Amino acid sequence: IVFFVSVNQILLLLLLLTVCAILYNKVHQVPSALKNEAVDLESPEEMEEEIPVVICAAAGRLGATVAAISSIYSNTEANVLFYIVGLKTTIPHIRKWIENSKLKEIKFKVVEFNPMVLKGKIRQDASRPELLQPLNFVRFYLPLLTQKHEKVIYLDDDIIVQGDIQELYDTKLAPGHAAAFSDDCDLPSTHEMVRSVGMQNTYMGFLDYRKQAIRDLGISPSTCSFNPGVIVANMTEWKHQRITKQLEKWMQRNVEENLYSSTLGGGVATSPMLIVFHGKYSAINPMWHIRHLGWSPDTRYSEHFLQEAKLLHWNGRYKPWDYPSIHTDLWENWFIPDPSGRFKLTRPDS
């Protein structure tokens, strides 16, 4: 009997101690929880969604990359993470440029692109050899460069962002779409520019319809093309649909069959995307991709129209860091001189 009384007393004591421990923890956890909440309130940036922006840093045009980043960073309060993609030879230069300028506050990762992934996939006879540079194909490999993100923005380097990049990031992608682009027929204001410089804005300008493989696609040559210099991409869909593999397949077929038109000279990088994404992409707001600023050194847009634009794109031969070019003041507003002095603007009086 004594034994059972002792055991009961011990069990009762243990029960009381357990209850006391629970009460103690509850009382002492309240200040801790309040403290954590206060930290969160004091540091809202910790809770902000990260906006990944992929942009290339190519030799000879690092000033373009810097100006683009400068314009994005200066016009947003969003939590932007820049993925700056370059070849091994250019990475030290762009890193020093950023770290020794007012851009040293940005969040960025420098990613080395291995051009060996393109071996055997590019024809060497395009009319514009500069479009065969390895970094022109970085957009094909977005999931490999930005592995932890669900949604990614890709931008060509010859752009200036005048709006808040958060707006572009918030572009809605329809279910099943891996990317959003700007349709080349989406903005009547650009139609006169297109006609005046004899540009193509249909699939006819990119694909060689004399080839059976192209005709077999069943895509009308008058179908409006899109410009892949600005992309909002869904990485889950991209990987699920094996977009990179599809793009590589159409690169490989071009090597073997010469399927792409040389009218624009940019077909090697753009044409595979036109095929793979035909009828399966969402639309970017037209004001978020005002382009063709590099197609002619003479044909200009109205200043009012350009002031309203959210993003300007100098696609074409005539770049705003070179001469001749147009609307260079809008680009130069965001340019940051190279601390090393190696990159210099080309101007009439230089």
β-strands 226-234, 151-155: how paired? antiparallel
Which long-range contacts does 243-249 make (Cβ < 8 Å, 24+ apart)?
243/178, 243/179, 243/276, 244/140, 244/141, 244/143, 244/144, 246/272, 246/276, 247/140, 247/272, 247/273, 247/276, 248/121, 248/140
Most confident of the ranges 175-179, 202-206, 263-267: 175-179
pLDDT, position 1 = 44
Return the higher-pLDDT residue of 4 and 194: 194
Average pLDDT over residues 221-243: 96
Among 175, 2, 158, smallest CA distance to 71 is for 158
Predicted pLDDT of residue 28? 47
Give tens-digit pLDDT for 113-123. 999 999 989 87
Q: How far apart are CA 173 and CA 120, in angstroms?
A: 33
- CATH superfamily label, 51-187+199-333: Spore Coat Polysaccharide Biosynthesis Protein SpsA; Chain A (3.90.550.10)
- Is the model's pLDDT at 25 over the cut of 90? no
Query: CA nearest 208: which of 248, 257, 278?
Result: 257
Lowest mean pLDDT among 24-38, 54-68, 139-153, 254-268: 24-38
Q: Are strands 50-57 and 151-155 parallel, antiparallel or unpaired?
A: parallel
Q: How many residues does the chain have?
A: 350
Domain layout of the chain by residue ranges: 51-187+199-333
Q: What local confidence, expressed as pLDDT, does residue 24 receive?
A: 55
Nearest to 181 by CA among 241, 130, 231: 231
pLDDT reading at 64 higher than 50: yes
Structure tokens at 297: 């050194």
Q: What angle do CA 129, 134, 139 make, to 5 degrees?
A: 115
Q: What is the pLDDT of residues 293-337, one digit of tens each?
A: 998 898 888 999 999 999 999 998 999 999 999 999 999 999 999
Locate the DSSP E strands across 136-239. 151-155, 159-161, 179-183, 226-234
* Greater pLDDT, 188 or 229: 229
Contact 135, 83 (CB under 8 A): no
Is the pLDDT score of 342 beyond 90? Answer: yes
The mean pLDDT of 86-98, rounded to a whole number, is 97
